[in-house]
């Protein structure tokens, strides 16, 4: 194989080389059919069997119980900004037909640019949005998404149609903690105890990096495939069965009509094959999931993620002491997938990025809205590749202290 760059891009992002090699075979001949995977009917028995296996592997990896369905769709995370609102408003309407529209509230926890966008879309659709927490209020300069708020910062509504959060903010580099005890954990203890919680999590950029904390308490978890597990084009939904509702019945009671391909019931009733799915993306994702299972599943990836991110935050801290780097986020709130920092000193950011490129390391430039550096260490970025970047960061900090 030709030599490949080390890809620290934020998404689409690195995929395991062995999987890509395997995928080239399927492009020519899928499952012994003599037809390539990009050419075969999504209703062929070979592809439908493949899709079922992908679903089972997701269920296995994340230990998803029969209370939740796994659905496949398209349109990326951004389409779910609208779909979660419409489906959960329909559910709320069926549960509480007597409520006036002004009494239907959606709670959003805003910790970065993706959850902010999601809240804006809810408003665009005419919903009443309560910002249950906004991490800018607890930021150093009152305007940056540089932290995960502590529990005292949240105020949830009494009976919201949904409670929304983003597990990992890909642009800003903050992530809810996974252990459930750190101050940066999602405040599950503040949510209603006895109800079926309408909790919606955007897990796009941390999906499959580790088990999901309190997965069964979620109404909906969604993720685009293009970070940890596959090419863009596929969105994976994990939906608690009470959230797959008859949206047309809800519309007859006054809820917003739901476009047919956005309705979770459409997807569920047709085993995610109401219309043509992103066959190629599903195929590669399926290969990645098999690869993950062979390596030891999410326990393996959780350990790997812990090691890679700890080493990166350690070298960043060293560089801070030397006055060369400056982390952008509060300690304890930092993402394990996307590590964001500034390079201090006139012209040094450009020099750092150029030096990385010369060493075959790509995709580390920060998002245009926040600048600086963003290093994304998704599942397919190996520990050895991460160590190469760490060695470079160390050398750079020593040279410029
Ligand atoms: N949510 C998060 C956390 C993301 O990182 C992204 C994309 N980077 C999105 C949503 C939007 O996803 P898409 O581009 O697939 O619509």
What integer is the mean pLDDT of 207-229?
A: 97
Q: Alpha-carbon distance 324 to 240, whole Å?
A: 47
Query: What residues contact residue 258 under an 8 Å CB cut-off, 6+ apart?
Result: 83, 86, 87, 90, 247, 250, 251
Atom of ligand 1 nearest to the CA of 226: 15
Instruction: Write the DSSP assignment of 308-347 as a string of letters.
Output: HHHHHHHHHHHHHHTTSEEESS-TT-B-SSEEEEEE-STT
Distance 75 CA to ligand 1 centre (A): 10
C-alpha dihedral (229, 232, 234, 240), degrees to nearest 10: 60
Q: Which two tokens stand for residue 336?
A: 């394990």
Summarize pLDDT for 112-168 with one digit per residue, the tens: 999 999 999 999 998 999 999 999 999 999 999 999 999 999 999 999 999 999 999
pLDDT above 90 for 3: no
Alpha carbon 238 to chain centroid distance? 12
The CA distances from residue 83 to 76, 187, 234, 256, in Å, are 11, 24, 15, 11
Element (H, E) at 68: strand 68-73
Q: Alpha-carbon distance 360 to 18, whole Å?
A: 19
Among the residue ranges 41-50, 180-189, 327-336, the one predicted with the least confidence is: 180-189
Per-residue buried b or exposed e for 53-70, using 16+ beta carbons within 10 Å of the residue's own CB: ebbebbbebbebeeebbb
pLDDT at position 241 is 98
Summarize pLDDT for 293-304 with one digit per residue, the tens: 999 999 999 999
Alpha carbon 317 to chain centroid distance? 26
Fold classification of 45-292 is: 3.40.640
Of 105, 133, 116, 109, whose CA–CA distance to 81 is shortest?
Answer: 116
pLDDT at position 1 is 62
Do 297-400 and 45-292 have the same topology in CATH?
Answer: no
Query: Looking at ligand 1, which residue's alpha carbon is closest to its atom 10?
Result: 77
pTM for the whole thing? 0.98
Kindly state the DSSP code that residue 189 receives in the 8-state scheme: G
**Which of 9, 77, 209 maximizes ligand 1 atoms within 8 Å of its Cβ, making it the mutation to test the pocket?**
77
Summarize pLDDT for 308-339 with one digit per residue, the tens: 999 999 999 999 999 999 999 999 999 999 99
The class level of CATH for 297-400 reads alpha beta
Instruction: Write the DSSP assignment of 227-276 as a string of letters.
Output: TTTS-TT-EEEEEEGGG---HHHHHHTTPPP--GGG-HHHHHHTTT-SS-
Q: How would residue 180 be classed by pLDDT, with cut points 50, 70 and 90? A: confident
Distance 147 CA to ligand 1 centre (A): 19
**Which of 119, 170, 203 maximizes ligand 1 atoms within 8 Å of its Cβ, making it the mutation to test the pocket?**
170
Q: Which residues line ligand 1 (CB under 6 A)?
A: 11, 76-78, 114, 166, 170, 202, 204-205, 224
In the chain, what percentage of residues exceed pLDDT 70?
100
Compute the Cα dihedral for 263, 265, 271, 273 and give only its sign: negative
- Pair 286, 53: CB distance under 8 Å: yes
Query: Looking at ligand 1, which residue's alpha carbon is closest to its atom 12?
Result: 77
What integer is the mean pLDDT of 162-188?
A: 95
Q: How would residue 79 be classed by pLDDT, with cut points 50, 70 and 90? A: very high
Of 59, 112, 90, 377, whose CA–CA distance to 236 is shortest?
Answer: 59
Query: Looking at ligand 1, which residue's alpha carbon is closest to its atom 15?
Result: 76
Element (H, E) at 56: helix 45-62
pLDDT at position 179 is 82
Ordered by start, the domain boundaries in the chain are 45-292, 297-400
pLDDT at position 193 is 83
Q: Which two tokens stand for residue 17?
A: 């080389």
Number of C-beta neighbours around residue 81 at 10 A: 23
Distance 224 CA to ligand 1 centre (A): 7
Burial of 276 (0-12, 13-18, 19+ CB in 10 A): exposed
**Which of 13, 76, 221, 378 maximizes ligand 1 atoms within 8 Å of its Cβ, making it the mutation to test the pocket?**
76
pLDDT at position 178 is 87
Summarize pLDDT for 82-106 with one digit per residue, the tens: 999 999 999 999 999 999 998 999 9
**Which of 108, 164, 224 maximizes ligand 1 atoms within 8 Å of its Cβ, making it the mutation to test the pocket?**
224
Instruction: Write the DSSP assignment of 191-203 as a string of letters.
Output: S-SSS---EEEE-
What integer is the mean pLDDT of 258-265?
A: 98
Element (H, E) at 73: strand 68-73
Distance 351 CA to ligand 1 centre (A): 29
Query: Looking at ligand 1, which residue's alpha carbon is closest to its atom 11?
Result: 77
């Amino acid at each position: 194989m030709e030599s490949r760059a080390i890809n620290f891009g934020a998404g689409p992002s690195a995929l395991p080389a062995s999987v890509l090699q395997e995928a080239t075979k399927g492009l020519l001949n899928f499952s012994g059919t003599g037809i390539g995977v990009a050419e075969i009917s999504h209703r062929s028995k070979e592809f439908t069997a493949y899709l079922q296996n992908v679903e089972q592997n997701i269920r296995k990896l994340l230990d998803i119980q029969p209370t939740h369905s796994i659905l496949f769709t398209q349109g990326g995370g951004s389409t779910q900004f609208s779909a979660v609102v419409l489906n959960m408003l329909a559910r709320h309407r069926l549960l509480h037909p007597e409520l006036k529209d002004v009494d239907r509230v959606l709670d959003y926890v805003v910790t970065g640019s993706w959850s902010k966008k999601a809240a804006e879309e809810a408003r665009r659709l005419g919903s009443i949005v309560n910002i249950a927490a906004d991490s800018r209020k607890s930021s150093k300069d009152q305007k940056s998404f540089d932290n995960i708020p502590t529990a005292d910062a949240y105020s949830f509504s009494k009976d919201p149609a949904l409670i929304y959060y983003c597990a990992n903010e890909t642009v800003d580099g903050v992530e809810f903690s996974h252990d459930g005890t750190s101050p940066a954990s999602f405040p599950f203890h503040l949510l209603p105890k006895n109800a079926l919680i309408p909790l919606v999590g955007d897990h796009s950029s941390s999906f499959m990096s580790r088990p999901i904390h309190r997965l069964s308490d979620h109404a909906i978890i969604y993720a685009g495939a293009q970070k940890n597990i596959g090419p863009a084009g596929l969105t994976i939904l994990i939906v608690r069965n009470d959230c797959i509702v008859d949206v047309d019945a809800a519309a007859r009671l006054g809820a917003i009509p739901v476009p047919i391909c956005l309705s979770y019931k459409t997807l569920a009733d047709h085993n995610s094959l109401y219309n043509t799915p992103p066959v190629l993306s599903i195929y590669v994702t399926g290969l990645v999931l098999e690869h993950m299972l062979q390596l030891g599943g999410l326990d393996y990836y959780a350990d790997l993620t812990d090691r890679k991110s700890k080493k990166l935050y350690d070298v960043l801290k060293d560089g801070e002491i030397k006055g060369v780097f400056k982390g952008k986020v509060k300690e304890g709130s930092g993402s394990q997938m996307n590590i964001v920092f500034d390079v201090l000193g006139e012209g040094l950011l450009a020099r750092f990025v150029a030096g990385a490129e010369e060493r075959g390391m790509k995709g580390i430039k920060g998002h245009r809205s926040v600048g600086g550096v963003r290093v994304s260490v998704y599942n397919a970025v190996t520990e050895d590749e991460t160590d190469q970047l760490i060695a470079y960061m160390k050398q750079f900090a020593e040279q410029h202290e």
